[in-house]
Structure 1
Amino acid sequence: MTPETDPPFRRIAAELRRRITEGELAAGERVPSTRRIAEEWGVALATATKVLTTLSLEGLVESRPRVGTVVAPGVRTPGPVREQGRHRGQGRHPARTPGEPPARASRRTDHAPLPAPGPEQETGPESQPESDQELTRARIVRAAVEIVDAEGLTALSMRGVAARLGVAAMSPYRYVGSKEELLLLMADSAFGEAAYPATAPEGWRAQLELSARTLWSLFRRHPWLAQLGSLTRPLLLPNLMVHAEWALSALDGRGLDARTMLDVHVLVYGYVEGIAANLEREAQAEAASGLSEDEWMDRQAPAFRAITTSPRYPVFSRLVQSIEGGYDLDLDTLFEFGLRSLLDGLTDLVEGRTQPPAGA
């Protein structure tokens, strides 16, 4: 084929390849997202996904969760086809007072280490290109998780998954009936990435802390998880129930009635999920605005100054102005503070010093 008759994805890939190899896009710099490619070149999202997949297989780009697709480190000229390793759990800068310099605090993205996927997750041989492997449900789920980790839930489509895997658009439907079913499989796979020790730590509180931190680490790794369910319409997933069973076992045998045990479990889970929901919301806001947290806060500086100098909000103004360097909202720190406070409040109830509230 000549360049004029090449498929659109090849022509677009060639242009982005040129920008990378000629230095217009440097190592670590973001390349256009699938949505930007679709808008700029007037192609479908599936075609745009195929563009980035092609460049990834050439070793020119790689996906980074909550960042997007970036030029791979050390790229000079197109190299042999290979599969790039994927980076996980990159933390974002904490929110800060507008006009203040960015905080230099180290961000932890996982409170508990997560084990490598087990054999049942079918990671497959790393040296074999995806296009040469047999299509399986596990491969489809893994590809979908990689897309959503990098670009958010709005980027997920069955066609996009097919394009990433280099198969026909309808092929995934032989293994997964719908996008909705795929989301459930993705969530179950993600919740199954962490396991609990065979011997539980001593005491109900230590067990609940381990449960909450394990869930937080999974939400940190896959922020979209917190967007899928609700407390009133929970996800009925086997691997999510493993976390519920661990939490309920921590409360078992302490004289609590069944309703109170379930209420405590839902309260703790709801707290973790509620804080985690802000991870994906921030990612969505950054994608929509094109501004990082720091950049967005800087643009709010005039409005923020108007509030902090107004006599209508004396307590807020005094508190903010009393903190040297401004107030940094760090979700990891807030999570730990809230978990400690929540469990402090539950101690008397769980240890039998108070009775459950009426109606519980």
Structure 2
Amino acid sequence: MTPLIRSLRRAWPLAQIDALVFRGTAGVLEGNPDLNRLIVVPEHSSKQVRLRELRQLWNRYDLSLSCLPSDRARIYGWSASRRHLGMLAADESAAKMLLMNDAVRFDDMNTHTVSMGLQLADLAGITRYSEVVPPTAGGGLPPGIEKAFVVLHPFPKFNYKMWTEAGWSALEQVLQDKGYQVLLTGSNEAEEVAYCQRLAVKSGALCLAGKLSLAQTADLLRGAKLFVGPDTVVTHLAAACGIPTVALFGPSNPVKWGPWPTGHNKIDSPWQLVGSARHSNVMLLQGSGDCVPCRLEGCDRHLASWSRCLQEMPAARVINAALDML
């Protein structure tokens, strides 16, 4: 939603612009220059707590925008201001409009998530600005960086978005042979840290998994010569930071979720449903197969499932893409 927030700021430079988010998700907006305040609420709470939240929001704003087609987002928006713009899912009843002054139909298939959010800028009657704004902690680089570096983010949240450990090891070795220091990023989840540490031991890479916040990771990415990662939030941050980015895609729909390239100002998604491509600073590598992208949870259709289109992606293909971007 940061392009929408930027559009609001450009339209009304003196406005008070606040964002309401669930606890645990605010890191992606840390240091955002277009926001005055972050309002953080629990994702799960009692009715009493939610009523208190609504009372605190009641009519505090001139305009509210609910950026998801959910009842809870709409209720927050309805309570916060007299003018409320939002989204309706394709199968939702028009009765939901009782909570909104105007709405756009949410498209989860053929409209990029950036373009989807910017349709609310159209409803508000303001100019679109499609720049994705990464967070910042305002700090320097972590210790241990000794020369020009590349960043790899090998571990996504779900197995069905994961490439192979052998592939990452081969990529690390080639990049080191080219004279780059390889840094591995990841969350503080134990399995993810262990995976990155294992890769680091094999290659001598610097493991930063569990050591950086999302905003600190974005600060690190701004200085990188290259980033390679799967369909995960850090890959989107890398693209937004303007560095050469290789994104590995399998089951996910790139039309909707492909990383938004720096300087892409068109309304339509830069990506097609099927096929690899490069736009600006982003190379999207899609796995092969007639079923790709299935838009499902791996070949076995559950969160722990793997995806053959990624598991069978050759290391040479990713290495060549990375070298091309360098």
Task: With the length of structure 2 as denominator, give the TM-score of the two structures.
Answer: 0.26
Greater gyration radius: 1
Greater strand share, structure number = 2
Greater helix share, structure number = 1
